[in-house]
A and B are shown apart, each in its own frame.
Chain A
Amino acid sequence: MTSTILRALSPWLLLALLFALAPQAFPSASALTMMSVMGVMIIFALSYNILLGQTGLLSFGHAVYYGLGGFVTIHAMNAIIHAKLNLPAPFLPLIGGLAGLAFGALFGLVSTKRAGIVFSMISLGLGELVSSSSFILRSFFGGEEGITTNRTKLAPFFGHKFGPQIEVYYLVAVWCFVCIVAMYALTRTPFGRMCNAVRDNPERAEFIGYSPRMLRFISFCFAAFFAGVAGGLAVLNFEIMNAQQLGAQQSSLVLVMAYVGGAGFFFGPIIGAVIMTFLQITLSDLTSAWQLYFGLLFIAVVLYAPGGVAGWLMLHAEAARRGELWRLAPAYALIAPAFAAGLIGAVMIVELAHHLFDQALDEGSAMRLFGVDVDAASMAPWLVALLLLGAGIGLGRLLWPRVGDAWGVVAARLNRAAAA
């Protein structure tokens, strides 16, 4: 009995441990900032998945609730500071959540009547309306500059004033952990299951006693609440809120996070939020063509891993659990060099082209590529790149059937094991 409880709890303990120890591994202030942002984004992406993954609602305007939650939080925060109330920082995200909930209830009322394209388009329209009105309602949204605040002016919490990033990190981590658990629990309730049913077949759900509209509405409210919490946390982290945070870009970012991570799995959006945040912040340091890579990566996921990263992981986890993973190893080992060659070739081509077209005018065509000095206008690097890419694609095509066969064997064994 205790062992089963322990088994059920172990992923959570592990997660908590991970949250607790991460700063030991990455102690720099910018790493802490990044991890704090990841925490915020994890909540945000999971809240989005209540809509997309659980209830089948594709929203183009989820950032509205994140942003409005943030704005209400920051105003409340400034008012609290002004009135010298004794409400310390850790409680503020709750205000964001409640604000998100309130706006979610308001807008949900008009948008959850239907699902599908109608819902998506209403969310798009509402998103545009809210973000456009941010320029009109200047006193609330603070115009272009937004609203700033200072978290250290809040009442201290057991002596902590949350000046140093590490304290903010732990605050985010605790909230993030709690929200993950809460949202996970939500998927395991009758309500969560009925959301799945409504996603699959809203009409039939209506004939077994549930109002699809009501279910969509409630799930919309939950999503807005957690998005608001994320917005509130973002305020504590950045100490600024502006209209960009509720715009289309933020809305599509969260969609991308949920999808790339894998909307079909509870933990998918967590992975998506971590990966996308990391890439967003660091990729631009490595290459100025980062948006191109971003787009290519994204398309690759859509084309080749429709279940997202989580889907891919689950496939292997299943094999690993049954001890079948090693059967894939030879095939993977064979194809890995081809994959690497193709990847390097592709990156070279992008970088060469980028340099040649974008920067050669004023900097000349000489550049450094993978630590080697090359001339982007000369033949040699292009030849190498094309060769690598060609070899990668050619070998990949040649060898891919082996991976397929290996998977066939594994799948057959897994099926047999499942049947038994």
Chain B
Amino acid sequence: MRARLLEVGDLHAYYGKSHILHGATFSVGEGEIVSLLGRNGVGRSTTIKAIMGDVPPKGSIRFKGEQIAGLKPHQIARKGLGYVPETRDIFPALTVRQNLMLGEKGGKGARRWTMPDMFGMFPRLEERADTPGGVLSGGEQQMLTICRTLMGDPDLIMIDEPTEGLSPLMVEHVGRLLEEIAKRGVAILLVEQKLAIALRISKRLYVMGHGKIVYEGTPAALEAASAIRKEWLEV
């Protein structure tokens, strides 16, 4: 078995007193695209936040073999984890270029991604490079968040609803982009509402229910397992 890049074991998380995650266990391998599916509100976003240390996690989170549960978010980020939040969280007062600059972590060495790469992928961003992030259109903001995270040169990028608010054409585009990212050796943990995309690009997928992983398999297997789909995904 290949070395697992990210291994999550028996993860629990709470908001105040409410128990959201009840022992999720899953893993992501290097360069792999893995989807986390589930109904609204099952705790997929919470899972990612717990891994990032934004929500205090209980349980084991190993990244590159190292225990990262309990570290501060910035320490986790520096270990090579990237996060694209569903709320986008563009810095409204900063320009597009400055938003991208903040994605960089400092430190030396060759990077997989540069600012020109980003502008190459999304020419629209280059046109708006000196506009404050706050006035971007919804879709533009979505592109910017993804790029901002890539600028930090993560080894694993966790993306929450990347296609929300994007036009149908742009959704296709982002789908291709994700595949391109994976090709450059970056693993992806994808949380996506639009099943079609998730099924098409991911290599493996997990289904969450009641704060736990209830199914693991390939897209093809899930297509076949209609009982699972019915019980955990469709309504």
In the complex, A touching B (Cβ < 8 A) = yes
User: CB-CB contacts of B1-31 with A at 8 A, as 1s and 0s?
Assistant: 0000000000000000100000000000000
Interface positions of A from 371 to 420, Cβ below 8 Å from B: 408, 411-412, 415
A contact residues around B17 at 8 Å (CB) = 408, 411-412, 415
How distant is the Cα of A415 from the Cα of B17 in the complex, in angstroms?
10
How distant is the Cα of A412 from the Cα of B17 in the complex, in angstroms?
8
B contact residues around A408 at 8 Å (CB) = 17
Give the shortest distance, in Å, between B234 (CB) and chain A (any CB).
30
Q: For chain B, which range describes its interface: under 10, 10 to 19, 20 to 34, or 35 or more residues? A: under 10
CB closest residue in chain B, given A411? B17
Give the shortest distance, in Å, between B195 (CB) and chain A (any CB).
34
CB closest residue in chain B, given A412? B17
Interface positions of A from 322 to 357, Cβ below 8 Å from B: none
B contact residues around A412 at 8 Å (CB) = 17
How distant is the Cα of A7 from the Cα of B17 in the complex, in angstroms?
34
Give the shortest distance, in Å, between A411 (CB) and chain B (any CB).
8
User: CB-CB contacts of A193-226 with B at 8 A, as 1s and 0s?
Assistant: 0000000000000000000000000000000000
How distant is the Cα of A415 from the Cα of B18 in the complex, in angstroms?
11
Give the shortest distance, in Å, between A264 (CB) and chain B (any CB).
20
Give the shortest distance, in Å, between B90 (CB) and chain A (any CB).
17
Give the shortest distance, in Å, between A315 (CB) and chain B (any CB).
15
How distant is the Cα of A408 from the Cα of B17 in the complex, in angstroms?
9
B contact residues around A411 at 8 Å (CB) = 17
CB closest residue in chain B, given A415? B17
How distant is the Cα of A411 from the Cα of B16 in the complex, in angstroms?
11
How distant is the Cα of A281 from the Cα of B107 in the complex, in angstroms?
59
How distant is the Cα of A221 from the Cα of B178 in the complex, in angstroms?
57
Give the shortest distance, in Å, between A413 (CB) and chain B (any CB).
11
CB closest residue in chain A, given B17? A412
How distant is the Cα of A116 from the Cα of B167 in the complex, in angstroms?
37
B contact residues around A415 at 8 Å (CB) = 17
CB closest residue in chain B, given A408? B17
How distant is the Cα of A415 from the Cα of B15 in the complex, in angstroms?
14
Give the shortest distance, in Å, between B145 (CB) and chain A (any CB).
23
How distant is the Cα of A275 from the Cα of B235 in the complex, in angstroms?
58
How distant is the Cα of A389 from the Cα of B200 in the complex, in angstroms?
65
How distant is the Cα of A411 from the Cα of B18 in the complex, in angstroms?
12
Interface positions of B from 180 to 196, Cβ below 8 Å from A: none
User: CB-CB contacts of A32-59 with B at 8 A, as 1s and 0s?
Assistant: 0000000000000000000000000000
How distant is the Cα of A186 from the Cα of B17 in the complex, in angstroms?
37
How distant is the Cα of A411 from the Cα of B17 in the complex, in angstroms?
10
Give the shortest distance, in Å, between A333 (CB) and chain B (any CB).
25
Give the shortest distance, in Å, between B130 (CB) and chain A (any CB).
25
Give the shortest distance, in Å, between A410 (CB) and chain B (any CB).
12
Give the shortest distance, in Å, between A336 (CB) and chain B (any CB).
27
How distant is the Cα of A408 from the Cα of B16 in the complex, in angstroms?
10
How distant is the Cα of A194 from the Cα of B229 in the complex, in angstroms?
47
Give the shortest distance, in Å, between A409 (CB) and chain B (any CB).
11
Give the shortest distance, in Å, between A2 (CB) and chain B (any CB).
40
How distant is the Cα of A92 from the Cα of B89 in the complex, in angstroms?
55
Give the shortest distance, in Å, between B18 (CB) and chain A (any CB).
10
Give the shortest distance, in Å, between A203 (CB) and chain B (any CB).
13
Interface positions of A from 232 to 280, Cβ below 8 Å from B: none
Interface positions of B from 141 to 178, Cβ below 8 Å from A: none
Give the shortest distance, in Å, between B17 (CB) and chain A (any CB).
6
User: CB-CB contacts of B192-226 with A at 8 A, as 1s and 0s?
Assistant: 00000000000000000000000000000000000
Interface positions of B from 115 to 153, Cβ below 8 Å from A: none
How distant is the Cα of A412 from the Cα of B14 in the complex, in angstroms?
14
Give the shortest distance, in Å, between A201 (CB) and chain B (any CB).
15
| Nearest 4 Cβ contacts at the A-B interface | A412-B17, A415-B17, A411-B17, A408-B17
4 A-B pairs within 8 Å (CB atoms) are namely: A408-B17, A411-B17, A412-B17, A415-B17
Which residues of B are at the interface with A, using a C-beta cutoff of 8 A? Answer: 17
